[in-house]
Structure 1
Amino acid sequence: MAKSICLFRMVVTALFVTFLWGSVAPVIKLGYQELDIQANQIGMQLLFAGHITLLASCILFLFIRLKKQSIRINRNTVSSILKVSIFQVFLNYFFFFIGVSLSSGSVGSIMAGTTSLFQLIFAHFFLKNERLSWTKNIGLLIGLFGIMMLNMTTAFRLSIGWGDILLLASVFAGAWGNLLASKMMADVDTKVMTAYAMLLSSIGFFVIGYGMVGSYSFVFTFHAVLLLFYLGGMSATALLLWNDLMRCYPVGRVSLFLFLIPVFGVIISSVLLNEPIKSNTFLALAFVIIGIIVVNRKKTDRKKGSRRWVLFIFTK
């Protein structure tokens, strides 16, 4: 009975977290629509990102203080936290928020779901104990083929726009940022590091965004405020719940739920944004899902797995 309850708790929590992550791209586009932010208004998009990251950092700092943990950081870790902030949050969000405005919510969700695949590639070249096996190579090839299918036209030609390029840049930045963050987990608490990374990134977004716009021209409606609090709260909540999953359950079993992120993203985009699901989207989604499952098929050591997946949230 106890095992059944634990399994039920794991499944429900994992489904909820992956649902939250899958909703990021479509809810961002919904926020753009509510605030009338156009695809060419990059400054406004960055200001929107600044509000979300600032709110997420405040929630994380509040949670840390409620747990009676210290928010102080060692001077020796400041430069490392700054690097994590630049890649894992700032550049990741910078490219993602702009890329989503030029693409569909479905494409943004599927692309964001491939972060774990590119993270494995970086780990192979920069971490001695994270070499790619033949199984992972096959999974990566399947996932990459899915990305190609996502940009395939009916005439079987690749059609890559600026939105796709920016979303790929976001994936690369997020994957590299996750790798940098994994090296710091022994020295800095994950929540503290993430809270500071969010705070520093929000400052960057406000400075650049305000510099481009020249004035604060947001008029927040009730629905826009709800969307803003959802995105900020989602970022903090999903991280805390995912950390709990990694601490309580086998990492290999939990990581398999990651394939649901692009699935939820496509479904939510269809419901909220009325986006038609094209045949190549179905094929791309299928290949990306298979790729994620294959690379995570083999159970890994809890400690190593935690280092690899605990910060996956910042892929969007």
Structure 2
Amino acid sequence: MSFFTRPRTVFFLAGLCCLLWGSAYPAIKQGYALLEIGRNDIAAQMLFAGYRFVGAGLLLMVFAKLSGKSLALHRAQTGQIALLGVLQTTLQYIFFYIGLAHTTGVKASILNASGVFFSVLLAHFVYHNDTLTWRKLLGCALGFAGVLAVNIGGLLGGAATDGEFTLLGEGFIVLAALVLSSASLYGKRLSQGMDSVVMTGYQLGIGGVVLVLIGWIAGGHIASFTLAPSLLLVYMALLSAVAFALWGVLLKYNRVSTVAVYSFLIPVFGACLSALFLGESLLEWKYLVALLLVSVGIWWVTQEK
């Protein structure tokens, strides 16, 4: 048995990946605060995102090179990866970073998990061997019920802001999830012909460069990087690179369902870390119910029969 197929190894490494991805929610919010990036300063938000993903892409490329992988691309692959980078990194994170500036980390963690359910539904129409089953339908229904539960507090007697759903906030987070799930299907097809780590490194780097260019053209400016925000940016680049690399290794040695089932931990970690580091409220019935529904839904759609 390979080291990477041992149940304990899969549990630890997959859990670590989910912890890293979940920590991105409070990290981005904290970065906005440290760099004094306002919720309506979209140009600066794009710069902040772009710097992170350029760094993450470079780190993955270095890792791939040290692992003995070839970084060479065919002409056709260059255009395909560029398109993937614009979709999966640039477009997704335009929605995500703007959305996170207009909502809480707890809500964003739960809402962004809807991407798993979008992927299940889209895969049914793209892959003939990945059809919907009653189990998957039930999981999707639970997941989307959890997404709705996040925003119904105000309808049941809470304060008006408890149930508020805004396009720039919660709406953009859900759109980011939809873009990611759509682009991931395209990325899955490309990965059949090249190494997934190299592909991810290129697409993160290309998408990050486009985000930086958008920020510059829009007149974005970020205050000088002092020690704290600089370390935070390095951490965010590392978390993306490390999590993608480890997840790719786990998928290489295990069945997809064996690894994907742990993705229910991402909204759990994201919500808990946002509550811990940002002081946001998590112990409200609507958040707890939503988190439970989303987590169970992800578990159902990623499990084997």
TM-score normalised by the chain length of structure 2: 0.92
Q: Percent identity?
A: 30
Q: Is the 8 A contact 1:135 1:295 kept in 2?
A: yes
Q: Deviations over 1:213-264 (max 9, x none)?
A: 25x4431121101110111011010011111222233432322211111111
User: What's 2:184 paired with?
Assistant: 178
Structure 1 partner of 2:160: none
Q: Which residue number corresponds to residue 253 of structure 2?
A: 248
Counterpart in the other structure of 1:96: 96
Deviation per residue, 1:73-109 (Å, 9 max, x gap): 1112223212211221111111101100001011111
- CA shift in 2, pair 1:126/1:156, >3 Å: farther
Cα deviation for residue 267 of structure 1 reads: 0.8
- Equivalent of residue 232 in structure 2, options 220, 227, 230: 227
DSSP-derived class of the 1:23 partner: helix
Gaps of 5+ in 1: 300-316
What is the DSSP-based 3-state SS (H/G/I as helix, E as strand, rest coil) of the residue aligned with 1:275? coil
SS at match of 1:103: coil
Distance 1:159 1:141 in 2: 22
- Name the SS of the counterpart of 1:219 in structure 2: coil
CA distance in 2, matches of 1:204, 1:155: 40
- The 1:2/1:128 distance shift into structure 2, 3 A limit, reads closer
**Partners of 2:136 and 2:2 in 1: how far apart?**
34
Name the aligned partner's letter for residue 304 of structure 2: K
2:59 is aligned with 1:59: yes
Aligned to 1:295: 301
| 8 A contact 2:29–2:100 mirrored in 1 | yes
Q: Return closer, same or farther for 1:2/1:120 CA change in 2, 3 Å cut-off.
A: closer
Task: Tell me, yes or no, if the aligned pair for 1:149 and 1:281 is still in contact at 8 Å.
Answer: yes
Displacement of 1:187 after TM fit? Answer: 1.2
* Distance (whole Å) between structure 1 residues aligned to residue 192 and residue 10 of structure 2: 25
| RMSD (Å) for aligned C-alpha atoms | 1.9
Q: What is the aligned partner in structure 1 of residue 276 from structure 2? A: 271
3-state SS of 2:304 partner:
coil
Q: Which residue of 2 aligns with 1:280?
A: 286
Structure 1 segment 207-218 matched on structure 2, within 5 A: 207-213=213-219, 216-218=221-223
Aligned-partner residue type, residue 136 of structure 1: K
Verify the 8 A CA contact 1:24 1:109 in the aligned structure 2.
Answer: no
- How many residues end up aligned between the 2 structures? 297
Give the TM-score normalised by the residue count of structure 1: 0.89
8 A Cα contact 2:32 2:38, kept in partner:
yes
Contact persistence 2:53–2:237 (CA under 8 A): yes
How much does 1:2 deviate? Answer: 9.7
2:89 and 2:208 in contact (8 A); partners too? no
SS where residue 154 of structure 2 aligns? coil
Letter of the structure 2 residue corresponding to residue 26 of structure 1: P
Segments of 5+ residues of structure 2 without an aligned counterpart are: 158-162
